[in-house]
């Protein structure tokens, strides 16, 4: 959800795709820095998984609170502030952690050592090296 007032129209598109293509809610995931739009989306769609994008360390606690409020599946924090203790804090709240955008080998190795649940990258072929 990239902009203001995108939650409702995005939900309509997803619902149409589910109906027309024999898909399920789990074929989609909604993620955004627009937390207000994530709340709007959840108000009309209780099934599609949601991931909250987090761009700074000082927003982690609020992101966790929001995740619980809207039943999000994961937090997707920026790799630049992520530490093993932050990952543990998030996972202790029964949320998955998928840091973004992890492209170089050293950062990929670091994120793996933090035991994240997955990695958002532009180069998926680098993950298993």
* The pair of three-digit structure tokens given for residue 25, joined into one six-digit string: 């809610």
What is residue 79's predicted lDDT score, i.e. its pLDDT? 98
Full pLDDT tens readout for the chain, 129 residues:
999 999 999 999 999 999 999 999 999 999 999 999 999 999 999 999 999 999 999 999 999 999 999 999 999 999 999 999 999 999 999 999 999 999 999 999 999 999 999 999 999 999 987
Do 121 and 108 form a contact (C-beta atoms < 8 A)?
yes
pTM of the model: 0.93
What is residue 129's predicted lDDT score, i.e. its pLDDT? 76
Q: What is the 3-state secondary structure (H, E, C) of 6-59?
A: CHHHHHHHHHHHHHHHCCCHHHCCEEECCHHHHHHHHHHCCCCCEEEEECCHHH
Sequence-ordered list of residues with C-beta below 8 angstroms from that of 7, at least 6 positions apart, any chain: 1, 37, 38, 40, 41, 44
């Amino acid at each position: 959800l990239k902009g203001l007032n995108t939650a409702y129209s995005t939900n309509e598109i997803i619902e149409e795709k589910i109906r027309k293509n024999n898909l399920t809610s789990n074929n989609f995931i909604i993620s955004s820095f627009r937390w207000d739009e994530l709340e709007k989306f959840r108000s009309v769609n209780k099934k599609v998984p949601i991931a909250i994008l987090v761009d700074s360390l000082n927003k982690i606690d609020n992101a966790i609170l929001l995740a619980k409020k809207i039943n999000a599946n994961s937090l997707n924090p920026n790799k630049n502030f992520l530490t093993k203790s932050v990952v543990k804090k998030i996972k202790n709240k029964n949320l998955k952690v998928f840091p973004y955008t992890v492209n170089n080998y050293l950062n990929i190795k670091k994120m793996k050592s933090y035991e994240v649940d997955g990695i958002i990258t532009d180069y998926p072929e680098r993950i298993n090296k």
